[in-house]
Structure 1
Amino acid sequence: MQLDFEAIFEDSPVPKMVLDDGLCFVAANGAYLEMVGKRREDLIGRYVFDAFPDDPEQIERMLEIFRRTLKGERPAFEEIPFAIEKDGVVTDHWWSLHHAPMKGPSGEIEYLIQYSQDVTDRVRLSHMRDAVMGEMQHRIGNLFTVVGSLARQVARKAEDVPDFVRRFEDQMARFFRLQNDLSNESAEGRDIAAVIHDQLGVYFSQAEDRIKADGPKFLLSPSEAKTVSMAIHELSTNSLKYGAIRTPEARLDVRWTPTEDGGVHLVWKEEGLNGAASSKAEGYGTRLLTNILPEQVNGRGIRVMDETSLRYDLTICRS
């Protein structure tokens, strides 16, 4: 029985590509082309880093892998980050890569073959688990400060001690329900307005006249709802400690609009702060908002602040 190795290569479900010793594409199977969002004519004959530009450090790293392979080694690497452009949109992906040398007609090594696996979902899931654990530790650290701030907010409106106890117990019950919601996984999507109002509702009795949240109906997937909930929780906790919810003269405006790719753009804006309220210290909370959470929704997070205002933009991409 004569095997058609060219057909086996092309039909393999494992993404594969072949480079010559000048690191130009010689072959790429269908699974590889689908993974990188390219056509065969975009690759064949092109230098690999012309087809896939990257930062110099990453290019040098991959060049070393290719050099080792062309010397006869079989290097394998797990969870290598790459930026891939599909339909004009650049997104971060992680690959596991395996390489092997290939001999040409002369009997010498003239090519290398790369077996690739897109492990982006696995990496993001791992990052999300780390984020949840880090957020839990972060939340515990905030807990006493938040409880104290809520107590002071309630005390301003309480008529007497029994009224304070009633109001404070109600606020604590709502606050801890939110903590429980953040820790639980849901299999259903939710409207973005409901997610945002759930997180902000605990503060409405203290600052309802200074908080606005508005936007069209937009259904979030379960993972998107979790991400938005964690972002609003982090922002509102900081606002209670330092920002607009704490500051009687300040205002909080939350708005969202759909994007052309089917996603949504969320804007959180606090105005009327003072220098102390708009602290520029960066820590886990900032990393959570600008890196960890946006990564989960293939999006972007930007936080900008000055002496009197704070703005946070979260874009959820679906392309």
Structure 2
Amino acid sequence: MTPKIDYPGVFAALPSPCLVLGTDLVIADANPAFCAVTGRTRGELVGQYLFDTFPNNPADPEADGVATLKDSLHRVLSSRQTDHMALQKYDIPISGNPDAFKERWWTAINVPVLGPDGEVAWICAAGPSGRRAARRNRPERSPRRRSSPGPHRAGGAGR
């Protein structure tokens, strides 16, 4: 007999930052690695619309993190395929001081989790870490995206 997997425990133990988003882009869960790189608690994140919590940096006229991430998430929702995002500058507000932002560079993999009906029920947004990179590392051309087959099915043990 195969032991029952503790999916919440696995999610919490992942070393890479990870969010679970509803199809409305409201944060359903955040693992400790995500909380650590963003300086937020799980309680501050869960139930919040992603782009209210992480808006573009208003002091950066070239900020396009919201548009780029939103496009990726909408591709996941419409195609039911994984979307790999290229390196992206996406500054985040400093916790407790929403008018101040920290420079952050991210890569992300946005993965659809399909429900029993075959439709996207959740999006798992994961990435290495909220890493800082020199401005010279910013891609000069439009970020390339790749789609991958293999959405994950919801169900079984866990939430």
Give the match for residue 69 of structure 1. Answer: 76
Specify which of 59, 62, 66 is matched with residue 59 of structure 1: 66
Task: Specify the alignment match of 1:109 in structure 2.
Answer: 120
Output the amino acid matched with 1:103.
L
| C-alpha contact (below 8 Å) 1:10/1:29 kept by paired residues | yes
Which is higher, the Rg of structure 1 or of structure 2? 1
Structure number with the higher strand fraction is: 2
> For residues 22 and 108 of structure 1, what CA distance do their matches in structure 2 show?
14
Q: Residues of 1 paired with 2:115 and 2:53: CA distance?
A: 24
Higher helix share goes to which structure?
A: 1
Q: TM-score, normalised by structure 1?
A: 0.37
Q: Which has the higher contact order (CA 8 A, sep 6+)?
A: 2
CA distance in 2, matches of 1:38, 1:105: 32
Q: What value does the CA root-mean-square deviation take over the aligned residues? A: 2.1
Give the one of 5, 22, 25 matched to 1:23: 25
Give 1:78's aligned residue.
86
In structure 2, do the counterparts of structure 1 residues 31 and 102 end up closer, same or farther at CA, with 3 Å as the change threshold? same
Report the more deviating stretch, 81-90 or 91-100.
Answer: 81-90
How far apart in 2 are the matches of 1:22 and 1:106? 18
TM normalised by structure 2 equals 0.70
Contact kept? 1:37, 1:85, Cα under 8 Å: no
Give the match for residue 60 of structure 2: none
What SS class does the counterpart of residue 120 from structure 1 fall into? Answer: coil
Structure 1 ranges of 4+ moved more than 4 A: none
Residue pair 1:102, 1:112 contacting (<8 A) in 2 also: yes
Residue in 2 aligned with 1:172? none
Amino acid at match of 2:27: F
Identity, % of aligned positions:
23
Gaps of 5+ in 1: 129-319
1:92 alignment partner, one of 103, 107, 122: 103
SS in 1 for 2:56: coil
